[in-house]
A and B are shown apart, each in its own frame.
Chain A
């Protein structure tokens, strides 16, 4: 385990300049936006005095360099500033919303993997068969439908027409009491508290948005799985295994699939990052209180602190996922571990 730890530390160290770059770019980009947040927030009587009041309260009257330095100093103290839209500290906002986004994105990725790995494997095993074409058709269609559209379609059918799904109003029934917050994920917190009503309610609310989101991840994952499986299946060691008359299931699922997992893992990392951005629209359709809908609103209002906080937290998430995937590489593939 020791070399693994060392490689993790090395990667974290490499991530520091990346994060600083993100901080700098997000700061510069929000300032480059043509909007003026002071005007936006000056209320129903935006006289020049009212605008000046807000500008002063937001420190926007200071030179840019000074604003940046104070932003970075605050960052080092874990202070991301205050959002004007919610009126709360950005850290608090993001911390409250992050579990909702992670719960949704995580479940979507799980669904996408559960659907696309079997599809990809079958496609590779029966290349050119009807089922291969059907799988390709399905994954291409899923990829080409924008997720807000699939989201609305699912709401229309399962909530509006059939009444099977709960109202698309966030994570839990409006009057339901969420379980005490431990992990922030309602389903897990529900289990921890033995509150199975919350578990089923939370899951019921998760089903439609996570399917809407998962659909956009199924396409790339199926294709990569299929391609990787094809390569592995035609490689020497599989041919050798075949000649030893190894049982087919063992050959496919233990030797071939495990070796094909590397590109699938990489893609899963990409897909996860991609799903977090696709979240923005799905969250809107389902009134999901995640960081995506938060960022969208903040951007429209030129709410600098909130936008920067969002960019930074997503960047941190990307870095974390990349480290996690690198670690998983080592576990899945001995060669990677030996090369370290």
Chain B
């Protein structure tokens, strides 16, 4: 008897003395079980404190006027298509020739989950709501020039008009993101109070939409059960009658569940587990580079010695990028280093920076800055992302150690809550923007408006000028030339050194098809089908 057999016998013996039941299985094919690290904490993204999982949920329970189409990524994985807008509640829309307005015509016989008809008045009420409630919805839509209730007009029962304040290429695609869902205005109004005129208390725990799925049961942080809405007119009816979203905080447990086929889809798996599962080939791994997202090393430009651009460049040359990608994410990322020239190839974003691992260059730059003897500093990262950031931090520590730079690593459990203090000399951080396009991304990190994401506290009047100009232009050759200029500036100044573009990996059972990568990075049950 070898060790393995012995262990099996011993554990089987022990197990038989326990009260245990055989595997559970009831009508497994009609439901799809999706496990992730945490579930939605609200049924309405407009409520303050709505988490990221709620974005995915509200895309399924609420409809919008329009939705993103789909495309196939180079690796064969279907993805949302930012450039393709398709009807959802609207059957058609028309932009005025002078760009002053856009008019939507609603589909016929649209119904909310409770059977009430959907009219342009519901759309107007919902749009008024997001420009008035404050917090994430209002601030998000401000970014795309939707700010005032007077912009929204009911033309007739089925016609809705938005007056455009200025030419803004982000306005129309923004109507397909999670914020501008259409709410059942009569139902909401009946639950409104003077203290809560937009009935947020009601929609937080009650769904008032018309989406493909209805909420059957909502236990924040345990399980959310969705049932298909038979009268859905927003698109192709979902294949699965029911979808179960389970919150499973432990990554090891998520992996065990999907490997035992008790879960159909598992997300938020650490790269190591993903690499193992991919190698075993029993379960599919659907991968997509996270759109407009970078994991980077931020260098505080207001802290010595990183106020010196030569020191920042030295660090950029000191990082062994390949090694970081290999050990942090097991190679599952898109490299963002080693561009052959320091001129951006085009206005696309993200694109590789002109730095590669070159210790000699790094040494020369440090010597040039008068720091040949090295210095001491601290590197911070999010404890919640330790599986990927800890190995990266250790490699950076090792590489900088060879240049005489002594790095102390700080692992921060409440990283996001503390980030706004901006007193970290070095930090590994990640940022993903909702919309494609370099200028939108840059405004959060490099602009002097100094958002919470600007951990490097970077401020440069020249950068601000370019970004403000890009906002006006936004399209065409003029935009292209401006974008190239600010990307080049970011490459030279390097307050942020991209480590890689992360990949979103989701483990999906062989008999489950139809996974589509979505911009909110949550698993969407609407397209999933179980054989």
Same assembly: yes
Which residues in A have some Cβ–Cβ distance to B below 8 Å? Answer: 33-37, 39-51, 53-54, 57, 84-88, 152, 155-170, 173-176, 200-201, 203-204, 207, 284-287, 289, 293-294, 297, 299-302
Closest chain-A Cβ to B262's Cβ sits at a distance in Å of 4
Q: Which of B222-250 contact A (CB under 8 A)?
A: 222-223, 244, 246-250
Closest chain-A Cβ to B55's Cβ sits at a distance in Å of 8
Cβ contact within 8 Å between A87 and B135: no
B19 at the interface (CB under 8 A from A): yes
Bound-state CA distance A60–B518 (Å) is 35
Cβ contact within 8 Å between B42 and A87: yes
Residues of chain B within 8 A (CB-CB) of A54 are 48-49, 135
Closest chain-B Cβ to A18's Cβ sits at a distance in Å of 28
Q: Which of B181-213 contact A (CB under 8 A)?
A: 204-205
Residues of chain A within 8 A (CB-CB) of B134 are 49-50, 53, 57
Residues of chain A within 8 A (CB-CB) of B42 are 87
Cβ contact within 8 Å between A285 and B252: yes
Cβ contact within 8 Å between A301 and B417: yes
Cβ contact within 8 Å between A44 and B221: no
Residues of chain B within 8 A (CB-CB) of A159 are 256, 260
**Which range contains the number of B residues in contact with the other chain?**
35 or more
Cβ contact within 8 Å between B21 and A160: no
Cβ contact within 8 Å between A170 and B222: yes
Bound-state CA distance A222–B140 (Å) is 59
Bound-state CA distance A156–B50 (Å) is 34
A164 with B221, Cβ < 8 A, contacts A50-B139, A85-B49 known = no
Bound-state CA distance A86–B259 (Å) is 29
B416 at the interface (CB under 8 A from A): yes
Closest chain-A Cβ to B315's Cβ sits at a distance in Å of 25
Residues of chain A within 8 A (CB-CB) of B262 are 167, 169
From B21, B139, B223, B259, give the contact of A166 (CB < 8 A). B21
5 nearest interchain CB pairs? Answer: A35-B417, A43-B136, A35-B414, A84-B49, A50-B139
Cβ contact within 8 Å between A201 and B11: no
Comparing B23-31, B66-74, B321-329, the segment that makes contact with chain A is B23-31
Which residues in B have some Cβ–Cβ distance to A below 8 Å? Answer: 8, 11-12, 15, 18-21, 23-24, 26, 31, 33, 38, 41-42, 47-52, 55, 134-136, 138-140, 142-143, 204-205, 219-223, 244, 246-250, 252-253, 256-257, 259-260, 262, 384, 413-414, 416-421, 434, 451-453
Residues of chain A within 8 A (CB-CB) of B247 are 287
From B18, B52, B419, B451, give the contact of A47 (CB < 8 A). B451
Bound-state CA distance A106–B89 (Å) is 52
**B10 and chain A: residue at smallest CB distance:** A157
Cβ contact within 8 Å between A174 and B223: yes
Cβ contact within 8 Å between A41 and B221: no
Residues of chain A within 8 A (CB-CB) of B20 are 158, 164-166, 204, 207
From B8, B223, B260, give the contact of A167 (CB < 8 A). B260
Cβ contact within 8 Å between B31 and A46: no
Bound-state CA distance A89–B244 (Å) is 24
Closest chain-A Cβ to B234's Cβ sits at a distance in Å of 23
Residues of chain A within 8 A (CB-CB) of B18 are 158, 164-165, 207
Bound-state CA distance A287–B413 (Å) is 20
Cβ contact within 8 Å between A39 and B21: no
Bound-state CA distance A164–B14 (Å) is 11
Bound-state CA distance A181–B20 (Å) is 24
Bound-state CA distance A46–B417 (Å) is 12
Cβ contact within 8 Å between A51 and B418: no
From B11, B15, B24, B451, give the contact of A173 (CB < 8 A). B24
**A88 and chain B: residue at smallest CB distance:** B220
From B8, B257, B421, give the contact of A34 (CB < 8 A). B421
Bound-state CA distance A300–B134 (Å) is 25
Bound-state CA distance A302–B420 (Å) is 13
From B12, B220, B222, B434, give the contact of A87 (CB < 8 A). B220
- Chosen A-B contacts, 18 in total, with CB atoms closer than 8 Å, are A33-B417, A40-B414, A53-B134, A57-B135, A84-B49, A85-B41, A85-B51, A85-B221, A86-B220, A152-B252, A155-B256, A156-B256, A157-B15, A167-B262, A173-B24, A174-B246, A286-B250, A287-B250
Bound-state CA distance A145–B113 (Å) is 51
From A33, A35, A53, A173, give the contact of B135 (CB < 8 A). A53
Closest chain-A Cβ to B316's Cβ sits at a distance in Å of 27
Closest chain-A Cβ to B253's Cβ sits at a distance in Å of 5
Residues of chain B within 8 A (CB-CB) of A57 are 48, 134-135
**A84 and chain B: residue at smallest CB distance:** B49
A162 with B21, Cβ < 8 A, contacts A44-B140, A175-B244 known = no
Bound-state CA distance A285–B254 (Å) is 9
Cβ contact within 8 Å between B414 and A44: no
**A58 and chain B: residue at smallest CB distance:** B48
**B26 and chain A: residue at smallest CB distance:** A175
Residues of chain B within 8 A (CB-CB) of A167 are 24, 257, 260, 262
Bound-state CA distance A308–B424 (Å) is 28
Residues of chain A within 8 A (CB-CB) of B250 are 152, 284-287
Cβ contact within 8 Å between A39 and B23: no
Bound-state CA distance A152–B142 (Å) is 47
Cβ contact within 8 Å between B135 and A39: no
**B419 and chain A: residue at smallest CB distance:** A39
Cβ contact within 8 Å between B136 and A169: no
Cβ contact within 8 Å between B21 and A87: no
**B134 and chain A: residue at smallest CB distance:** A53
Cβ contact within 8 Å between B19 and A162: no
Bound-state CA distance A47–B138 (Å) is 10
Closest chain-B Cβ to A191's Cβ sits at a distance in Å of 15
From B15, B143, B246, B257, give the contact of A164 (CB < 8 A). B15
**B141 and chain A: residue at smallest CB distance:** A45
From B11, B48, B246, B417, give the contact of A36 (CB < 8 A). B417
Cβ contact within 8 Å between B140 and A33: no
A87 with B15, Cβ < 8 A, contacts A34-B421, A37-B417, A43-B50 known = no
**B254 and chain A: residue at smallest CB distance:** A287
Bound-state CA distance A37–B248 (Å) is 23
Cβ contact within 8 Å between A42 and B414: no
Bound-state CA distance A40–B11 (Å) is 45
Closest chain-B Cβ to A295's Cβ sits at a distance in Å of 12
Cβ contact within 8 Å between B246 and A46: no
Residues of chain A within 8 A (CB-CB) of B143 are 45
**B140 and chain A: residue at smallest CB distance:** A45
20 further interface pairs, Cβ-Cβ under 8 Å (given A35-B418, A45-B140, A169-B262): A34-B418, A36-B420, A36-B421, A39-B419, A41-B49, A47-B451, A54-B48, A54-B135, A85-B220, A160-B260, A162-B8, A162-B15, A164-B18, A165-B15, A166-B21, A168-B253, A287-B248, A293-B221, A297-B221, A301-B417
**B434 and chain A: residue at smallest CB distance:** A44
Closest chain-B Cβ to A259's Cβ sits at a distance in Å of 33
Closest chain-A Cβ to B97's Cβ sits at a distance in Å of 31
Residues of chain A within 8 A (CB-CB) of B219 are 289
Bound-state CA distance A313–B19 (Å) is 32
Closest chain-A Cβ to B57's Cβ sits at a distance in Å of 13
Bound-state CA distance A24–B50 (Å) is 29
From B138, B140, B205, B417, give the contact of A40 (CB < 8 A). B417
Residues of chain B within 8 A (CB-CB) of A160 are 256, 259-260
Residues of chain B within 8 A (CB-CB) of A49 are 134, 139, 142
Closest chain-A Cβ to B144's Cβ sits at a distance in Å of 10
